[in-house]
Amino acid sequence: MTTIPAEYGLVLATVLFMLGLISLLIRRNIVFMLISVEIMLNAAGLAFIVAGSRWSQADGQVMFLFILTMAAAEVSVGLALILQIYHQLKTVNSDEASKMKG
């Protein structure tokens, strides 16, 4: 059974993270942006798991749990926000929600 080099895991995490980031940057639909954030969080969690595995410690997994918690909270609040934005502005276009312009 061949072992996995740690960098491979990290490279996967990097690639997933970058894909999420690209999506976040190119999407205007705010729901898509939320999805992208989920991808990125997931990638970050992957990196922690790889690190935990690298040192054979449970800490990486604990961190993943925290990320998970945070992601859950974030999604719930984020979705509520999306609903509000849609309700107020009748659009899911994040560019149009630009009333905070300085």
Based on the shown chain and the rule CB under 8 A, indicate whether residue 7 belongs to the binding site for another protein.
yes
Site for another protein in 25-54 (CB under 8 A): 25-29, 31-36, 38-39, 42, 45-46, 49-50, 52-54
Residue 51 CB, nearest approach to another protein (Å): 10
Whole-angstrom Cα distance, residue 98 to residue 9?
Answer: 38
Could you say which residues in the range 58-97 bind another protein, by CB under 8 A?
A: 58-62, 64-66, 68-77, 79-84, 86-88, 92, 94-95, 97
Q: Binding-site residue total for another protein (CB under 8 A)?
A: 81
Give the distance, in angstroms, between the CA of residue 17 and the centroid of all CA atoms in the same chain: 8
43 close to 22: Cβ distance less than 8 angstroms: no
Q: What is d(CA 23, CA 55) in angstroms, rounded to the nearest whole number?
A: 32
